Amino acid sequence: MPWTKEDYPQSMKNLPAKTRDKAIEIGNALVDDGYDEGRAIPIAVSQAEKWADGSSPDDSHSKEEYHVVSDEQGWMVKKEGSKRASYRFDTKQEAVEKGRELVRNNDCSLVVHLKDGSVENTVNSK
């Protein structure tokens, strides 16, 4: 069931309204992509908080963002907002190496997740 501004997970209750709305948007997209709710919620909250910290009224276009995440088939590098993986690997190390290559060669950032979906670290281009 998609979350709304009136019906959302308890863990989003104390977020500022704009951040909560973004978390709901991200969470719904993750669930649509096949993530289970327990995994989608912490990712959505983390990404919404980063969005809120990095956004400004003048910042209409932010950097592309890639995520290293796991699923039942292994590890993947996935562009933010994409339904499909950009790259797929057997190991997390291979996925992180590819993600770091993307950051070196493009103006983008990489968010590396643990198996439980929480954020392990972020790599930004210079």
- Dihedral in degrees, nearest 10, Cα atoms 56, 102, 117, 94: -170
Q: Report the percent of the chain where pLDDT is more than 70.
A: 92
pTM of the full structure = 0.53
pLDDT at 20 over 60: yes
Q: What mean pLDDT comes out for the span 80-100?
A: 93
Res 62: pLDDT: 59
38-76 residue pLDDT tens: 888 999 998 988 888 775 444 444 578 999 999 999 999
> Could you tell me the CA-to-CA distances from 13 to 39, 92, 119, 124 in Å, in that order?
17, 33, 20, 29
- Asked whether the beta carbons of 59 and 37 are under 8 A apart, the reply is no
Question: For residue 108, what is the enclosing H or E element?
Answer: strand 108-113
**Over the chain, what is the mean pLDDT?**
86
